[in-house]
Amino acid sequence: MFTNHILFSGLSEPELLTLKSHMVTKDFGKNEIIYLQDDEIKHIYLVRSGWVKLFSETVDGEESIIDILTTNHAFGYQSVMEGTKISHSAEAIEKSTIIMIPLSKVRELLSSSSVFSMNMLKLLTMKQKFRDREVEHLSLQNSPQRIGCFLLRLCNSDDNMNVDIDLPYDKSLIASRLGMKAETFSRALHKLKDEAGVHVKGGSVNISSVAKLSEYCCGSCSSSFPCEDVAEEAI
């Protein structure tokens, strides 16, 4: 339910009903564009199911993946404050169902409900903290460490030895999300196997020791496993 999202936590029943009466649920096919950079968007978006990538494109046509989102992640909400032109594009990378709430209704709620504006502040603060950490990683972690960190985020905090996980989406998308070229990603996976006991085969990953992997990655980070970011990503 959309009411699980931090944005709508603590809203009154009438406020939730008003939102609900104006929201639209829409299906997007694989690789279908939800909006393009500089579009004047008219909604904020919430992933009900599926996967969505947020990206920007350079003048030379290269793509930078800003975020990859799944169930219960919100996006497009920056437009509530900064005007309707959006600074990135959004595309469904799998068949996805998206809840769309009109910006006008969100703005009304923002001016009438201090609970809602506090929720929005919380969301943006959490995102900023997450982004700060990401800039830190891009500056100080090497490629194998960045992949290792990505994998640790898929583990549970009590995972220990011989953990099997599935990659949530395509390896080329993971590489791009982590700011790596395909060749770098491939080399980094080899190094991760040799130095931290991580075996990747297709979309399956075996981590021989979470402790070993976190020791390998988290030395070059200001936090350590299990870090708060794990929870913060689910916004």
Residues forming the site for its own copies (CB under 8 A): 37, 56-60, 62, 64, 66, 78, 80-82, 87-88, 110-111, 114, 117-118, 120-122, 124-129, 131-136, 138-140, 179, 218-222, 224
Of 94 and 136, CB closest to its own copies: 136
- Compute how many other C-beta atoms are within 10 angstroms of the C-beta atom of residue 71: 14
Residue of 7, 3, 5, 18 whose CA lies nearest to 102: 18
Strand 161-166's sheet: what is its strand order?
A: 161-166, 204-209, 198-201
Of 83 and 202, CB closest to its own copies: 83
Residue of 173, 160, 152 whose CA lies nearest to 53: 173
Q: How far is the CB of 52 from its own copies (least distance, A)?
A: 15
Distance CA 98, CA 80 (A): 18
Q: How far is the CB of 99 from its own copies (least distance, A)?
A: 21
Of 60 and 158, CB closest to its own copies: 60
Q: How far is the CB of 102 from its own copies (least distance, A)?
A: 18
Of 203 and 219, CB closest to its own copies: 219
